[in-house]
Structure 1
């Protein structure tokens, strides 16, 4: 191999090949986070999302209840929000917090544990003691 000269391989500055699958996934992901008018994709009418919750009756029986939440404003018009935001509304508070925490992992750096093994030996010395030591004087010389 010649030193200092490139003799083969890809030329400098050549971009990577486009991967169709990666391009599709990137476009799909971006569309998921872009705001749009929330209408039902099948009927074209108002979109409702389902939120599940547990409820307990007077006898102690636990039931799963599904609430339908319409994605409309105060006038009954469809709201403009991303599909991500609509999906977050559908989650119960505990699931929503877990989803937010998992997403934060992609935006915050991971902290590494640092292990410190120190061994401190010696006595406590003041600045004056250190200066005397550097000048070659001792405490006994000062008493004279």
Structure 2
């Protein structure tokens, strides 16, 4: 009788722990609202970074757990574009299909590259104007 009770208690304890799932392939998610990237899948865990709404992240896995109120809660293990890895509360992450995720990520990278090229171009124009003004001043002396 004691063995059966111990086995039932053990089985019950196993089901109380978090259900952790690791993804095999590439998966992406969209940050639907500002969310904190945390070290562990706990509300009070150390804050690593804040992810802004609209960011695309790489989903590495998910964790399902049941807190005291017995309501199932999902956390995603993610990697941000800046390379930070941690956990984000699932209500603020929308999983995307692989094609949409890659397209969104490439679009954001392209926009960044275009902005960077414009800034470099503007800097080069300013340097050219300064150099021209300097040469005119030298000729006038």
TM-score, normalised relative to structure 2: 0.23
Higher relative CO (Cα under 8 Å, sequence separation at least 6) belongs to 2
Q: Which has the higher helix share?
A: 2
Q: Which has the higher strand share?
A: 2
TM-score, normalised relative to structure 1: 0.22
